[in-house]
Amino acid sequence: MTDQPTTHAFGAEVNQLLKLMINALYSNREIFLRELISNASDASDKLRFEALTNDALKGLDQELAIQVSFDSDKKTLTVEDHGIGMSQEEVIANLGTIARSGTRQFLEGLSGDAKSDANLIGQFGVGFYSAFIVADEVVVETRRAGSDPSEGTRWASNGEGEYQLTPITKDSHGTRIVLHLAEDHHDLLNQWQLQRIIKHYSNHIAFPIELIAPADASGDQGDKGDDPEASIEVVNEAKALWTRPKSEITDEEYTSFYTTLSHDNAPPLQWAHHQVEGTQSYSLLLYLPSQAPFDLLMNRDTVEGLKLYIQRVFIMDAAEQLLPRYLRFMRGVVDSADLPLNVSREILQDSPLLKKIRATVIKRSLDLIAKVTEAGDEEWKKFWDAFGTILKEGVIEDFENREKIASLLRFSSSESDKLTGLDQYIGRAGEDQKTIWYLTGDNLQVAKNSPHLESFKQQGTEVLLLTDRIDEWVISHLSTYQDFELKSVTAAAPDVDKDEAVSESAKKLAGRVKKALGERVGNVKPTSRLTQSAARIVLGDHEMSLQMQKLMRQAGQDVPETTPNLEINPEHPLIQAMASQSKARFEDLAQLVFDQALLAEGGELADPSAYIQRVNTLLVEAYAPDAS
């Protein structure tokens, strides 16, 4: 066996990350210790979990304390755990490249503008590499639990493009990380300073964190083994946060636990902590984040977020089992006292107990969101901007909780500049109104100017303006809310129908328009519901809106062509003028009116150039009559 070091290059992303991070996080340097302790804690969790099923590891998970020690002479700070450790392959994969996919996506998303990038990275957990904020050399010695002492690995790097690997013999399994502190950071070699940082950021860690201080600060050994006088002090509570009585946990502790759990440096918006005792006992700690992680929208199948513990033993990331996808932004911990420790993913999938817990997680999450929504303040706005679109998926996915989810949604409205909910809409509705009217559109401006709104405005009936891509889809799954029916203004007549007022001559005109348009149109009717527009498209009660058809086609779906119906406004000067035109001119105008109604709808013209030609012919006649 050789103990010659071999040199390896970092993955390109690591270099990029290191450069960025060291400058960006300089003023927030203390987080490095949080990140290293959190990794040590994860590694201890992993060992405890693997020891449940792997006989070779039985008994190795007894002493899982994490040690932080320092040496004032050598200017080193050491974080050591007795967790799962790493094989050499794992060292290369984990410490030579970027292991965390979120970090990779984050790096891909950087703008290149140093200042805003620095800002971003400040909000982001950077894991192991944060050691280089304070160290100009980092040495990792590690050995996987269960392997032979000769199978240890030393990893060393100054964070400048390369690292060295050396095979070593390491007596204990687990990982020891030695930071050679840069000169600026020698002040960290101080018991009180370290104690404060650990308490501040890592108090919630479930394993004891022992701070080992040399008997005499100038003593040459930081390691208790070599310095019998060293003092050992357990700095943290060393109890899983969710098992402690709620009344004893400070907001700061909840927040710092969230940071470790989520890798999100922004504080959570809200949290809920439930300790359920009874036929089933479990603890639930749920967090509502204040910003979306980078991979949230892109990756609907992300499984991180909710950690499953059984009797305080970390079992797995179980978001898939415990959270529906429309709540995939939630973060937290479930700790069950009743599930068997040797549970597998397959068993979990069909466990009735887990189904019950899942239902509770959903209920509690929605309650938490409701709490933020009712406040309707800035917190809610943050939530809504980050996760509103995702929550909407719930109306589609979760039949059981549909009403409750719907009550949390907010939409634009024809009557208010602020977003409004369905309950508020109902609160403002007229006494006989039994319908929630809505209009879907590409964007708010188009929706606000839609011809369909004209009669509603005149009657003072509020219409919800749904302009999010997913709205149309959502609303198609929500035909009623409370005892109100949801109806599109394009599909239906308003309650007050004055259509008898339409004259015979208008009906005749409509007949001529139908003839001129032929197959392009279903039926053509006069209407008294338009005030400003010449015409509008109407669809049958169960027909997909043009907007929806467009979206579906864009998504690659096969959507059968529908034939839209047309309503014309006999009071409109253009429509009135049509009656006395030549046959050819009448046909042109009929096509134009129809195309315009389609455009106003956000639909697409089958033959845009024919439309332009017709308009231009008219313009030339109006402005350059000599040329025609």
Footprint of ligand ADP on this chain (CB under 6 A)?
A: 35, 39-40, 43, 81, 83-86, 94, 99-100, 127-128, 175
Backbone angles phi, psi at 270, to 5 degrees: -155, 160
Q: How far is the CB of 283 from ligand ADP (least distance, A)?
A: 24
Minimal distance in Å, beta carbon 416 to ligand ADP? 44
Angle made by CA atoms 84, 89, 94, in degrees to the nearest 5 = 70
| Residue whose CB is less far from ligand ADP, 99 or 470 | 99
C-alpha pair distances (Å), 389 with each of 35, 384, 401, 446, 466: 32, 8, 17, 20, 12
Instruction: Give min distance, CB of 315 to ligand ADP, in A.
Output: 17
**Least CB distance to ligand ADP at residue 46 (A):** 7
157 or 455: whose CB is closer to ligand ADP?
Answer: 157
Q: Which is nearer to ligand ADP, 39 or 157 (CB)?
A: 39
Which is closer to ligand ADP, CB of 149 or CB of 540? 149
CB of 414 to ligand ADP, least distance (A): 47
Comparison of 142 and 467: residue with beta carbon closer to ligand ADP: 142
| Shortest Cβ 365–ligand ADP spacing (Å) | 24
Distance in angstroms (rounded) separating the CA atoms of residues 522 and 59: 78
Q: Which is nearer to ligand ADP, 85 or 324 (CB)?
A: 85
Torsional sign, CA 118, 21, 262, 69: negative
Rounded distance, CA 287 to CA 268, Å?
A: 6
Angle at 253 between CA 243 and CA 276, to 5 degrees: 25
> Cβ 270 to ligand ADP, closest distance in Å?
24
d(CA 45, CA 83): 7
Please state the three-class secondary structure of 574-620 as a single string: HHHHHCCCCHHHHHHHHHHHHHHHHHHCCCCCCCHHHHHHHHHHHHH
- Short-list 206, 289, 203, CA closest to 249: 203
239: left (phi over 0), alpha (psi -120 to 50) or beta: beta
85 vs 146, which CB is nearer to ligand ADP?
Answer: 85
Tokens 């984040």, located at residue:
289
Report d(CA 406, CA 419) in Å as an integer: 14
**Minimum distance of ligand ADP from residue 62's CB (angstroms):** 17
Cβ proximity to ligand ADP: between 260 and 336 the closer is 260
Q: Which residue blocks in 54-113 are alpha helix, DSSP H?
A: 88-95, 101-108
Q: Quote the least distance from Cβ 86 to ligand ADP, whole Å.
A: 5
Pick between residue 138 and residue 409 the one whose CB is nearest to ligand ADP: 138
39 vs 291, which CB is nearer to ligand ADP? Answer: 39
Could you tell me the smallest distance in angstroms from the CB atom of residue 244 to ligand ADP?
Answer: 24
Phi, psi of 522 (to 5 degrees): -75, -95
In whole angstroms, the minimum distance from the beta carbon of 93 to ligand ADP comes to 8
Q: Report which DSSP code applies to 453.
A: G
Tell me whether residue 44 or residue 547 sits nearer to ligand ADP (CB atom). Answer: 44
CA dist., res. 474 & res. 406, Å (int): 9
Q: Dihedrals φ, ψ of 16, to 5°?
A: -60, -45
> Which two three-digit tokens encode residue 376?
């309707």
Is 97:13 a contact under the CB 8 Å cutoff? yes
